[in-house]
Amino acid sequence: MKKTTGVCLLACVVSFVASAAGATQKPVEPIAPATGTNEAKAELGKKLFFDPRLSKSGFISCNSCHNLSRGGTDNLKTSIGHNWQQGPINSPTVLNSSMSFVQFWDGRAKDLKDQAGGPIANPGEMAFTHDLAEEVLQSIPGYVTEFKSVFGKEKINIDQVTDAIAEFEKTLVTPNSRFDQWLEGDKEALTADEQAGYKLFENSGCISCHYGMGMGGGSFYKMGMVEEYKADSPSEGRKDVTGKEEHHFMFKVPTLRNVELTYPYFHDGAAQTLTEAVDTMARHQLGKKFSRAENGQLVAFLKTLTGDQPRSRSPPCRLQATRPRNPNRLSKAVQGL
Ligand code: HEC
Ligand code: HEC
């Protein structure tokens, strides 16, 4: 089956069934380290990623829900945002998200920059506004200097904020997993069980959806291709974006990189363990039931996909002062928070 870059329609489903039967396979590739990074911009983006002052409460940063020491997720069934509101959907990892063809489970953001403005202004997440975020950043001298040196402008705007965050996120790749070492020729890197797990992954059709460098992130597929899946979340997947019935319950195939760390699984966070997630995938996507031994081999294989994690030391304390020192420089709206 050829690489799907959009929503997979009926013809694609038919060809998928052929490929699931082992007719064709998509390749997986080792992760290449990030290249071409604008270091200064990424460094600024890192500070913003960790900065709770971009939220209304002053408590929530991107890292709250995409914790870089927890595989880029919050390990919650669904995320908790402003005022302890429980969100409707599981937080996907930000690790390797630069490899995805679109962002969000339903693909409503076209790239990382487009995505990054969303959570700041989402009332259920950081609950701020873009205007207030600009104003707060403009009131912090360290940021003014740094934005100026990166973007060459006196005035900070949200476009620069999302640009910098996206540049940082592009550095969050995780090369050098044991599986990648094995793909690159180190035959000792995987045990016999793990290799058997990869064979099952190829031969039973997992790879037709979880392919490419990210082993996911390349297409939308219906959750419940063979057996209907009843979700705990109200999301209708891609249909929420296009309004089309045929897109009902289609989700972006998630990356399987670092999947050992990114529990719980699925858009509704319903599966607690990899054993459960593999069992669900087999039944709902492939109409299969793996034996305990096979499931164990697949899980063992999935655990070899954990790569080098980004070093996530908090940014230096120069920008870590709490609220801006001179509140008189802020508008009433900001002071009233
Ligand atoms: C309150 C928790 C929360 C906060 C704070 C938050 N996110 Fe998210 N993030 C989520 C959830 C939940 C999703 C999935 C939403 C969806 O798909 O509908 C998501 C999705 C994403 C995605 C898409 C990943 C993918 O594979 O599709 C990226 C990238 C991302 N967030 C980055 C950020 C950045 C950058 C910030 C800070 C500006 C941020 N997030 C703040 C919870 C959060
Ligand atoms: C027809 C396409 C398709 C096939 C085949 C498929 N998957 Fe998936 N996979 C998906 C989609 C779509 C999701 C997201 C579903 C959701 O969240 O509701 C997913 C989610 C997952 C997750 C959860 C990841 C996370 O972070 O939440 C794991 C683990 C997984 N698949 C493993 C497998 C394994 C192992 C196989 C083979 C036994 C397999 N998949 C076969 C499309 C597929």
Say whether both 118 and 98 belong to one domain.
yes
Q: What is the pLDDT of residue 313?
A: 62
Q: Whose CA is nearest to atom 37 of ligand 2?
A: 206
The CA distance from 283 to 228, in Å, is 10
140 lies in the same domain as 258 = no
- Residue 1, in any domain of the structure: no
Average confidence (pLDDT) over 109-124? 92
> Of the ligands numbered here, which is closest to the C-alpha atom of 226?
2
Count the domains in the chain.
2
Rounded average pLDDT over 167-173: 97
How far lies 278's CA from each of 33, 93, 235, in Å?
28, 18, 22
Distance from Cα 123 to the centre of ligand 1, integer Å? 13
Band (pLDDT 50/70/90 cuts) for residue 16 is very low
Between residues 311 and 219, the one the model is more confident about = 219
According to the model, what pLDDT value does residue 1 have?
37
Residue 300 lies in domain: 10-31+176-305
Tell me the backbone φ, ψ of residue 109, rounded to 5 degrees: -110, 135
Pairwise CA distance, residues 261 & 281, whole Å: 18
Whose atoms come closest to the Cα of 275: which ligand?
A: 2
Residue 191, domain member (yes or no): yes
One domain for residues 121 and 155: yes
Has residue 186 got a pLDDT over 90?
A: yes
What's the pLDDT band for 85 if we cut at 50, 70, 90? confident
pLDDT of residue 4: 41
The pLDDT of residue 182 is: 96
Q: Are residues 165 and 181 in the same domain?
A: no
Instruction: Tell which wins on pLDDT, 158 or 13.
Output: 158
Mean of the per-residue pLDDT values for the chain? 87
CATH of residue 136's domain is 1.10.760.10
Mutate to test the pocket of ligand 2, among 96, 106, 281, 298 (most ligand atoms within 8 A of CB): 281
Farthest-apart Cα atoms in the chain, separation: 68
Number of neighbouring beta carbons within 10 Å of residue 149: 11
Residue 180 lies in a domain: yes
Instruction: Please check the confidence at residue 15 and state whether its pLDDT lies above 60.
Output: no
Pocket of ligand 1 (CB under 6 A): 49, 60, 62, 64-66, 79, 81, 87, 89, 91-92, 94, 97, 100, 103-105, 112, 115-116, 119-120, 125-126, 165
Which residue has its alpha carbon closest to ligand 2 atom 12?
253
Q: For residue 297, is it within any domain?
A: yes
Residue 172: partners with Cβ closer than 8 Å, 6 or more residues away: 68, 72, 94, 95, 96, 97, 98, 310
Same structural domain, 196 and 284: yes
Q: Which of 194, 230, 253 to mutate to test the pocket of ligand 2 (most atoms within 8 A of CB)?
A: 253
pLDDT band at residue 314 using 50, 70 and 90 as cut-offs: low
Are 198 and 160 found together in one domain? no
104 Cα: distance to centroid of ligand 1 (angstroms): 7
Is this prediction's pTM over 0.85?
A: yes
Ligand 2 centroid from CA 255, angstroms: 9
- Residue 77 belongs to a domain: yes
Six-digit token string for 72: 């880029």
Query: How far is it, in rounded angstroms, from Cα 268 to Cα 232?
Result: 6
Range scoring the smallest mean pLDDT among 35-39, 126-130, 325-329: 325-329
HSE-CB of 310 using CA atoms within 13 angstroms: 24
- Contact between 71 and 79 under an 8 Å Cβ cutoff? The reply is no
> Is residue 288 scored above 90 in pLDDT?
yes
Q: What is the pLDDT of residue 86?
A: 86
Rounded Cα–Cα distance for residues 254 and 71 (Å):
14
184 and 60 fall within a common domain: no
Tell me the best of 8, 13, 17, 210 to mutate to test the pocket of ligand 2, counting ligand atoms within 8 Å of each CB and taking the most: 210
Residue 314, in any domain of the structure? no
253-263 confidence digits (pLDDT tens): 999 999 999 99
Q: Which atom of ligand 2 is found nearest the CA of 298?
A: 35
Which residues line the pocket of ligand 2, CB cutoff 6 A? 16, 201, 204-206, 208-210, 221, 223, 225, 251, 253-254, 256, 259, 262, 265-267, 277-278, 281-282, 285-286, 298
Q: Are 330 and 269 part of one and the same domain?
A: no
- Token pair, residue 74, equals 């919050």
Q: What is the C-alpha to C-alpha distance for residues 269 and 76, in angstroms, rounded to an integer?
A: 7
For residue 128 the two structure tokens come to 């701020």
- Both 239 and 294 in one domain: the answer is yes
Domain presence at residue 293: yes
Share above pLDDT 90 across residues of the chain, in percent, rounded to a whole number: 77
Are 65 and 113 contained in the same domain?
yes
How high is the pLDDT of residue 83? Answer: 80
Residues 169 and 181 in one domain: no
Produce one character per residue of 274-289: b if its CB has 16 or more CB atoms within 10 Å, e if not.
bebbbbbbbbbbbebe
Whether 211 is covered by a domain: the verdict is yes
CB 172 within 8 A of CB 179: no
* CA 334–ligand 2 middle distance (angstroms): 43
CA of 28 to the centre of ligand 2 (A): 15
Residue 299's pLDDT is what?
98
Residue 156 shares a structural domain with residue 262:
no
